[in-house]
Amino acid sequence: MKVGIIGRTNVGKSTLFKAMTMEDVEIADRPFTTIEPNRGVAYAKITCPDKEFGLKCNPHNAPCVNGTRYIPFELIDVAGLIKDASKGKGLGNKFLTDAMEADALIQVIDISGKTNGSGEKTESYDPAEDINMVRDELTAWIGGLIQKIRVKSSEGLAEAMYKELSGLKFRFETIKEGIKKFNVNRPDDLNLGEFIDYLLDSDKKMIVACNKMDITEDLEEKLKQLRSRFQYDFVPCSAGAELTLKEAEKHGFISYNGSIFEIKKDINPQQRGALDMIKGMMDKFGGTGVDSLINTLVFKTMNWKVAFPVVDEKRLTDSQGRVLPDAYLLDENATPKDLAEKVHTEVAKNYKGAIDCRTGLKIRNDKPLENGQIIKIIV
Ligand SMILES: Nc1nc2c(ncn2[C@@H]2O[C@H](COP(=O)(O)OP(=O)(O)OP(=O)(O)O)[C@@H](O)[C@H]2O)c(=O)[nH]1
Ligand SMILES: [Mg+2]
């Protein structure tokens, strides 16, 4: 699974990316710091099922730390947008192609209102403007791509769009449904706006990371306002605080499990002061918000499922005897066959059925997987 980070420039996208992946990327308090996309691996967390069975896991693709499994997914951070990017302002909008490979989007906003639509310092900017701007720019960009499509006489409009927009990973079914629903007849139809809304709402679900909560006054009121105006899931966070904690952990100053931290060795008064401030914020908001952002995106907004494939349904091992070695993230409607596909194309080719290892019963082939399910694939 892939997640793309988008948003207006200078809101903290790369800070969030770095805090989630620990890749070394450039962060700066000025517009347009990121130019080329950053790619890395981030993790969703789920309780490891090994204890439930009195076993000890041997992780392979998904690390286990103190009983929590870290399920990998790909994360992409792209350049920042500004109004009229579709007309070439700022870094333009072509870089959106990279973000659109993703199955889900995180839009980062600066909820403090201390940077404006151009990413410059200000006092009370309304981040709702950025949410509308990002949507308008996405729509203008996709609209521009659609309008350039030339439909060959041998193909239908849906086929032509699917082919031309293949990099943006819209599903053929969605394109076909949308064309019918909004009565789109040609690539230059005037009712493209509603059609593009439909594509985005169907295949590019988005969560909004309300960043810089550490310097935000009236956070609750601002969140309330945003939630009353938009349908998205809004999660307040401080990517900056999360990054500070991850770096302190990397250097051995603290231990940190994503919700609480403990100081492990002597630190200077300045470091202690910074950590005390973060602790105050975490006590007030229940964390830095970054874990909650990932959790909400993966398990609520997207309703993705984690599945553990095994070969031996009694011992919960793979062919090498490793206990619960792998865990995969799959989309909402994924079936046991889709899990087989993730494991190996050969396994998918020889797929004969699947067993739920908790019940020992066979699962219907078209039944969507449940989150945390342990599956034996019969080949
Ligand atoms: N106070 C505070 N500052 C933050 C936070 N997250 C990021 N910043 C600061 O915001 C500025 C911009 O951060 P970046 O991560 O470079 O922002 P970006 O959205 O990637 O910017 P572009 O790539 O230029 O579009 C930097 O000075 C960060 O330190 C946060 O949670 N709190
Ligand atoms: Mg950046």
For residue 323, the domain's CATH number is 3.10.20.30
* Residue 369 counted as domain residue: yes
Range of the domain at 26: 2-37+78-233
> Would you say the pTM of this structure is higher than 0.85?
yes
Q: 309 and 225, same structural domain?
A: no
CA dihedral 26, 27, 28, 29 (to 10 degrees): 160
Q: 223 and 102, same structural domain?
A: yes
Atom of ligand 1 nearest to the CA of 77: 20
Residue nearest to atom 8 of ligand 1 (CA): 12
Chosen domain end from 233, 250, 271: 233
Atom of ligand 1 nearest to the CA of 10: 21
239 Cβ below 6 A of ligand 1: yes
Q: What is the pLDDT of residues 232-290, one digit of tens each?
A: 999 999 999 999 999 999 999 999 999 999 999 888 999 999 999 999 999 999 999 99
Q: What is the pLDDT of residues 284-294, one digit of tens each?
A: 999 999 999 99
Distance between CA atoms of 357 and 74, rounded to whole angstroms? 28
Q: What is the pLDDT of residues 326-371, one digit of tens each?
A: 999 999 999 999 999 999 999 999 999 999 999 999 999 999 999 9
At residue 115 the predicted structure's pLDDT band, cuts being 50, 70 and 90, is very high
At residue 152 the predicted structure's pLDDT band, cuts being 50, 70 and 90, is confident
Q: 30 and 117, same structural domain?
A: yes
Q: 154 and 12, same structural domain?
A: yes
Q: 349 and 201, same structural domain?
A: no
Chosen domain end from 233, 256, 286: 233
Number of Cβ within a 10 Å radius of residue 33: 17
What residue spans of 13-127 are helical by DSSP H? 13-21, 96-99
Q: 212 and 89, same structural domain?
A: yes
Query: What six digits make up the tokens of 230?
Result: 């938009």
Report pLDDT for 218.
96
Q: For residue 111, what are the contacts with CB-CB under 8 A and spacing of at least 6? A: 127, 210, 211, 212, 213, 216, 219, 222, 223, 226, 236
Overall domain count for the chain: 2
Torsion 300-7-245-307 (CA) sign: positive
Q: 198 and 97, same structural domain?
A: yes
Contact 44, 71 (CB under 8 A): yes
* Residue 345 counted as domain residue: yes
* Residue 240 counted as domain residue: no
* Residue 245 counted as domain residue: no
Q: Which helix (H) or strand (E) holds 211?
A: strand 205-211
Q: What is the mean pLDDT of the chain?
A: 95
Q: 129 and 220, same structural domain?
A: yes
Q: 6 and 113, same structural domain?
A: yes
* Residue 163 counted as domain residue: yes
* Residue 145 counted as domain residue: yes
28 Cβ below 6 A of ligand 1: yes
CATH number, domain containing residue 115: 3.40.50
* Residue 65 counted as domain residue: no
Atom of ligand 1 nearest to the CA of 26: 16
Query: What six digits make up the tokens of 14?
Result: 């790369």
* Residue 115 counted as domain residue: yes
Chosen domain end from 206, 233, 260: 233
